[in-house]
Chains A and B, each alone.
Chain A
Amino acid sequence: MVAHIIRRLLFLVPVSLLVSFITFMLIHLIPGDPARVLLGEDSTPEALAALRQQLGLDRPLYEQYVRWLNQAVHGNLGESIQLHQPVLQAIIQRLPVTVELGVAALLFSLVLAVPLGVAAATHRGSRLDWLLNVSSLLGTTIPAFVLGLLLILVFAVLVRVFPPGGYVSFSEDPLGNLRDLILPMIALGSGSVAVNFRQMRASMLDVLDQDYIRTARAKGLSALRVNYSHALPNALLPLITLVGLQAGAILAGAVVVETIFLWPGVGQLAVTSILSKDYPVVQGVVLLSALSYMLVNLLVDLSYTFVDPRISHGK
């Protein structure tokens, strides 16, 4: 077990190195002179030369990479061009907003998808099953940004229940924070609800077919008991992997949802920095999101061992 964790962590090292290299190379994908792109067309030659030296663009590529990596490892992701603050600080400042939104959306999707999936599987072929399947199809079809706009139209324009956008931090105004959270959470979580529901229904159907469920039924246990305490725990396993995969989708969705609902999170930072050509910030966001995504997936993989003792890595 411990050996397995160590092996997985060691494997992260080469992958992270390559990830950091690709992130580093992003800025060199810009056709032409990055310094000119960063400073704009009407920049003075002196300013260009100064920036080139500051960015180390006059050095060979591998030297630039080693320097950049060395700084990144020490927590220095460079200086934002537009925000006049260190990149890392800019990201950390906005992180709680994105984490709140992402966690809320994930919880929303699980709270909805698990019982609905169980209901659809136990009532297979019924009208309820059909209705849930059609809704889940719509859920995967309607993109988060369209759903977000529809929610704004219905719940913030036609019926003024929720604000059309904005963010108050929880410590400032807990109720206001929750009120601001509802619509973005639904917009971001609905896609996951649909995917999780489908998985939940499918794996529940698998489990319900098995002998031990028949035994449990034959013993005269109530349907509720059979479904929830015998079938559900086993049916939940495949969902864990899926939740890990969704971390990426949620992060990507947060980019759009934060932009629509004016949430000052990392996603919005990514968009504004891309549009304002603030490349150090873009690099920082890409690098950190990739690393955290890898870490989430590692944790998900490892959590398997704890959730399901049958899986062992004792080879």
Chain B
Amino acid sequence: MSTRTDASVGAPPPPGMPVEPEAAAATPGNWFTGWVQRVGRKVLSAVQHAGHFGILLVATLAALPQIRRYWPAALGHAKRIGVDGVALVIVVGGLSGSLLAQQTGYQLSNALPMSLVGSGVVAGMLTELGPVLTAIVIAGRTGAGIGAELGTMKVTDQIDALVTLGRDPVVELVAPRVVGGIIALIPLVVIANFVGILAGWFTAVSLLPMTTAEYVQGARGYYHAAALIFSLVKAPIFGFTITFVACYVGLRAEGGAAGVGRTATAAVVAIIVAIMVLDVILAPVYNAVA
């Protein structure tokens, strides 16, 4: 004798089992109601996220001028982000400069002057690859770390403890990390740019039919101060974005150790999407200014 358990209620019938007429009749209505509920829940959740994100953003911006309260902590975070990330940034910056030189060289061969390889590498590194790849590297390295760290603090009641001890988590935890990120990203992007351009030169003179003079001529032909300034403006914007988004995701963690793991992953994904969206928004700004 088989009995129907509570767990089977609402589940589709097993293969081969006939569907009862009343269940079949109820299906379209149930499906539509379920769909509306799911969409409604997602919309509500998105609105809630937007609200919480906005509140934390305003609180963080309001905390930035109180920098004297958390300056040592901010410097500590800047040092950690910088020191932890510099080796990876050098590797990724060098590889991207080298690839840029090779691809530009292959496209130009027999068509345009090879000196344009220098232009392509400098333009690519300064305006896009230097800042964006540095941001993505730091997102993977530091963003995940911040998300997991704050997530752990959240699920172990350390954030609540901070609140009950009369401290402001935004001033104590978010602002120092955000300021640290802003400070650290500037030298990291400069390093990525420099190493990328240097690797581009090395690749060009080693693998392509061109000389150092041609590379330098192309690089100087493209270079203008606006490109460098744009690169250095992107750095603090990305530094803010990486740390702020990581803090936001971390502070909303729930569900114990598994939740912290999910938070670290979610932080990296959210940061990379935010960086790419910001980059797309900033590109026309640069074109208009330059």
A binds B: no
Q: Which residues of B contact A (CB under 8 A)?
A: none
